[in-house]
Structure 1
Amino acid sequence: MRDDRGEFPFWSMVLAVLLALIAHDLIRLAVGAYMARRAVAEFNRQVQSTPTRPAPGSASSAQSAPAELPRYPGPVSARASGADVACINGTQARRVANGWEQEPRKRCQAYSP
């Protein structure tokens, strides 16, 4: 009974599976391209709808702003000179028993003597 069928059904099944895999890949590629095109269109819409900010000022105006801040020595210089106040990471810090206590709301500018 098996000999009557021959090898034809086996190869037809292999061909059917191969065609199904190719069709699946083509459909997946088409859906991916469609979704990517929609994502790019949405991104372009968002980019165009955001208001543009004015260009930042020149470097000279940016450097003049910190001159208004109080100037304190940096942490190394303050420790070496025994100063009670230092500027650490752009914020004012006061010397305490175990080191420094920063006050993040008080901005400053550090300098080295």
Structure 2
Amino acid sequence: MPPRGADAHPRGPVRACAHAALTSERTFARRFRAVTGTTPAAWVARMRLAHAQRLLESSDLAIEEVAREAGFGEPAVLRQHFARTLGTSPRAYRERFRAA
């Protein structure tokens, strides 16, 4: 069972995965990076961002709800990830890519 707050911080799932793989967190992270080319935390953030993108494209959920549903918790964190990774805001992304 993952530790409390595992969804709130990418390190929680790393701990759970390392435990399931019968290895240390450090070894798991090193092997994960060797296979995927990225860190577990970056991978989790990218998956959350992709989920948020799908929600913005296909739902009428408010930005606050999208942030929570995608695992970012707060809209400000979602906005930071959008700005840093995609160079836009969630609202602008929705306006541009919303399914007709």
Same fold (TM over 0.5): no
Query: Which structure has the highest strand share of the two?
Result: 1
Q: What is the TM-score when the length of structure 2 is the normalising length?
A: 0.24
Q: Who wins on radius of gyration, i.e. which is larger?
A: 1
Query: Which structure has the highest helix share of the two?
Result: 2
